[in-house]
Amino acid sequence: MTPDSELNIRNYKRIAFINWLLSVPILLIFAWPYFFLSELLSVNKALSFPGSILFGLPFMLTILHGHVTMALGAAHRSLYYSWLSEAPFTYGLLFHEMIISTRFRLVLFGISLVILLSGLAFR
């Protein structure tokens, strides 16, 4: 890795910092429609809060994964994710390789829908 390449630790740190800064606003943007719908359907708040977070997480993760792809390119994003795995107590704090899996994101989305349906059943 050369210092002027996008494949250096300094650039990885910048991408990680931007992703951390963007994660909460993006999560809130995608979680509010679920929360609003659960309010309209009179779902208990104990179910609507975790459901809305689980609903917003797949969209947030997709956007952040796209950010990494745009910054480094599809061919090199695996190097960034490898670097995150090597730093589990700093930049890669909440990173697990499963997070970038589409199947994992679809499971989170499905669980949020199950929570919504169970909230409708237990009104």
Tell me the pLDDT tens digit for each residue of 103-117: 999 999 999 999 999
Residue for token pair 């480094």: 72
Instruction: Compute the half-sphere exposure of residue 8: CA atoms within 13 Å on the CB side of its CA.
Output: 8
Over range 19-45, report the average pLDDT: 96
Residue 2 pLDDT > 80:
no
Q: Is residue 94 part of a domain?
A: yes
Q: Is residue 4 part of a domain?
A: no
Do the beta carbons of residue 95 and residue 101 sit within 8 Å?
Answer: no
Do the beta carbons of residue 115 and residue 47 sit within 8 Å?
Answer: yes
**Start-to-end Cα distance in the chain:** 57
Q: Is residue 20 part of a domain?
A: yes
Q: Is residue 3 part of a domain?
A: no
Question: Domain range spanning residue 74?
Answer: 9-121
Query: Considering its fold, how many domains does the chain have in total?
Result: 1
Mean pLDDT of the chain: 92
pTM of structure = 0.89
DSSP 6: S
Q: What is the b/e burial string over 11-31, where b = at least 16 CB atoms within 10 angstroms of the residue's CB?
A: bbeebbeebeeebeebbeebb
pLDDT of residue 3: 58
